[in-house]
Chain A
Amino acid sequence: MSSLAVRNVRKVFGTVEVLKDIDLEIGSGEFLILVGPSGCGKSTLLNIIAGLDTATSGDIVIGDRVVNNLSPKDRDIAMVFQSYALYPNMTGRQNISFGLEMRRMPKHQQDEIVDRVAKILQMGHLLDRKPSQLSGGQRQRVAMGRAIARDPKLFLFDEPLSNLDAKLRVEMRMEIKLLHERLKVSIVYVTHDQIEAMTLGSKIAVMQGGEIRQFGSPQEIYDQPADLFVAGFIGSPSMNFIRTEAVEHLGSVGVRLQTAEETFVLPVHDAKKSLRTWIGRELIFGIRPELITDSASSQRVGRNVHTRTCKVELVELTGPDTLVFIRINGEVVCCRVRPEQAPKANDSMELAFNLSKAVFFDPKTEKRIA
């Protein structure tokens, strides 16, 4: 059963089309991430789902009801905001029970729910404090408690972690994930952080310019990005894009690459048919940094792994991996190697190119070819 469906939703402010025909659907218990750069329309879409904003056209379906004309309180949703939006004049307990009180729930029942929620989130000691007496993480916890207390069909999160410091953000991220697994609720979560998107989501909608560029599972989006934008947005450090020419190579397709020292062709075995039609034409070859690595950590077996010796221009330490930068076809290419294998800048090293997950894009339409 679907828990949320967005059907052909458009939103126009004056002459600006903020959302262009958004269409998506998630099942019960799914964790949907709306991710994209600022201004892509993701928060507007969330507000429309919440009923805080109205769509110019299209339908919002929550559960099995079309909720277009229902006010936020009747949509059976709860929302966690970026600024937490805790009522400053109320204690944690009052913040959590306010929504219940508005629904005319008897007092003893309210108390029961508050206590249960406090137990789930382990925040019993925060209940009697005002928001001003709480730290950022504690406020976030109370805000989540307020959402859980309502026991809604759908949870909406609007960049809930972006006001927290890096360490706390990772902790709360894990906690949201645990919570989702325990409560098995449906969640729509807006973020601009692609790591949050990858770690939390069961479905990701990558948005840009008011459109959904790709909608799929995190792994699909990572391995088979629909276009250049998605490929570049998801993943850190981002995918390398190399402008090159597809050539006929030993009965298959290859890409012609040029370093400072040599020009060579890397064959793409098991190439899709769609790629074969590009022989002789220019395309964009995309390969993630972890697929160009030192030959020791690369899987040597596999027809699609080829080693080459390249001159390293720059070396960056990150701790678990070291990033080395080489130059191919005039563009800087990032490779991920084990720290103990990393050379110094301007030295040469042997790098293994794994083309089994390489992707190819049409330079004009920016769509993926294969």
Chain B
Amino acid sequence: MAEHVQARIAGPQIVGRIVVYGLLALLALYYLMPLFVMLSTSVKTLDDIRGGNLVSLPAEITFDAWAKAWSGACTGVDCSGLRGNFWNSVSFVVPAVLISTLIGAFNGYVLTMWRFRGCDAIFTVLMIGCFIPFQVVLLPMAQTLGVLGIANTTSGLVFVHVVYGLAFTTLYFRNFYVSVPDELAKAARIDGAGFFRIFWRIILPLSPPIIVVCVIWQFTQIWNDFLFGVVFSSGERQPITVALNNLVNTSTGVKEYNVDMAAAIIAALPTLFVYVVAGKYFVRGLTAGAVKG
């Protein structure tokens, strides 16, 4: 009897599976198509690009376009490629990510373990920061940077991104620490640990899952940012996203699609790298605390 039932269900089940996997494969193909076009175009010669169509495979593979994008392409009058801008981006993204993550962790710790009068109100106000569009803060931010004397500098850009990222990092850490029993902090207080030591010795060591989430999120946001980069930096100090835009828009006769594609991939590589390295922690971190361990 049981086998009979199973046999009857098996038919539709297989059809269902085929539909599901077919659909998934189709969607994967759809999403991977642009990447394929970018990759194949970046290793084609200009003649190949003009002659063939968008999805055709390259006739011969050449990395000249990559070399040019990295160190020889012209953005405006300057023809030194994206190399300098790439390191520009690294030089402000890394400190901005680290500082905003650390402050976020600290905020989360205070908001959950040392609850004070009005802390929920402060948290709510901080959350509004998540919904403020970039454009709104441009002018006041420019003024602030001017007053602080860090307009048009790398530290200025770090400052902007730290301030803007705080709302998100605080949200992440606060929600993570809510699931940590506050008896931990009480026990540590009785043991004689102070405010900072509890954070450093007890709370921070619990946090790697959420730190990974935070770092990935912040790195992606700040690296990919264009608006703050274009407004608050200029010339040599511009980040790679701005340089990429300039490179693509600079026309000196022939449009070099292969160089554009290579440059775009170079600009996207670091975020891709971070996802590949830490992606599994990202998923784990987002669901951590959902089920009590």
List chain A positions with a Cβ less than 8 A from chain B: 50, 52, 71-73, 77-79, 81-83, 85, 87-89, 98-99, 102-103, 132, 146, 150
Question: Which residues of chain B are within 8 angstroms of A132 by Cβ–Cβ distance?
Answer: 293
**Residue of A71, A82, A88 touching B189 (CB-CB under 8 A):** A71
Interface pair B183/A83, CB less than 8 Å apart = yes
B262 to chain A, nearest CB (A): 45
Question: Which residues of chain B are within 8 angstroms of A99 by Cβ–Cβ distance?
Answer: 190-192
Interface pair B190/A50, CB less than 8 Å apart = yes
Interface pair A81/B187, CB less than 8 Å apart = yes
Q: How far is the CA of A89 from the CA of B187 in the complex (A)?
A: 14
Q: How far is the CA of A52 from the CA of B185 in the complex (A)?
A: 10
**Residue of A83, A88, A89, A98 touching B191 (CB-CB under 8 A):** A98
Interface pair A87/B192, CB less than 8 Å apart = no
List chain B positions with a Cβ less than 8 A from chain A: 181, 183-184, 186-193, 197, 201-202, 205-206, 293
Interface pair A85/B187, CB less than 8 Å apart = yes
By beta carbon, the residue of chain B nearest A147 is B190
B7 to chain A, nearest CB (A): 44
B182 to chain A, nearest CB (A): 9
Q: How far is the CA of A83 from the CA of B188 in the complex (A)?
A: 14
**Residue of B181, B186, B202, B293 touching A89 (CB-CB under 8 A):** B202
Chain B CB within 10 Å — which of A77, A89, A146 has the most? A89
Interface pair B192/A73, CB less than 8 Å apart = yes
Q: How far is the CA of A198 from the CA of B201 in the complex (A)?
A: 39
Question: Which residues of chain A are within 8 angstroms of B187 by Cβ–Cβ distance?
Answer: 79, 81, 85, 87, 146
Chain A CB within 10 Å — which of B188, B191, B192 has the most? B191
Q: How far is the CA of A63 from the CA of B60 in the complex (A)?
A: 88
Knowing that A82-B183, A85-B181 touch, tell me 4 more A-B residue pairs with CB under 8 angstroms: A50-B186, A79-B190, A99-B192, A102-B191
A140 to chain B, nearest CB (A): 14
By beta carbon, the residue of chain B nearest A102 is B192
Question: Which residues of chain A are within 8 angstroms of B189 by Cβ–Cβ distance?
Answer: 52, 71-73
Question: Which residues of chain A are within 8 angstroms of B184 by Cβ–Cβ distance?
Answer: 85, 87
Interface pair B192/A103, CB less than 8 Å apart = yes
Could you list some 10 contacts between A and B, CB below 8 A?
A: A73-B189, A73-B192, A83-B183, A85-B186, A87-B184, A87-B201, A98-B191, A98-B201, A102-B191, A102-B197
Question: Which residues of chain A are within 8 angstroms of B293 by Cβ–Cβ distance?
Answer: 132
Interface pair A89/B190, CB less than 8 Å apart = no
Q: How far is the CA of A301 from the CA of B21 in the complex (A)?
A: 86
Chain B CB within 10 Å — which of A78, A85, A99, A132 has the most? A85
Question: Which residues of chain A are within 8 angstroms of B183 by Cβ–Cβ distance?
Answer: 81-83, 85
By beta carbon, the residue of chain A nearest B207 is A89
Chain B CB within 10 Å — which of A82, A102, A150 has the most? A102
Interface pair A88/B206, CB less than 8 Å apart = yes
Question: Which residues of chain A are within 8 angstroms of B188 by Cβ–Cβ distance?
Answer: 87, 98
Chain B CB within 10 Å — which of A50, A81, A103 has the most? A81
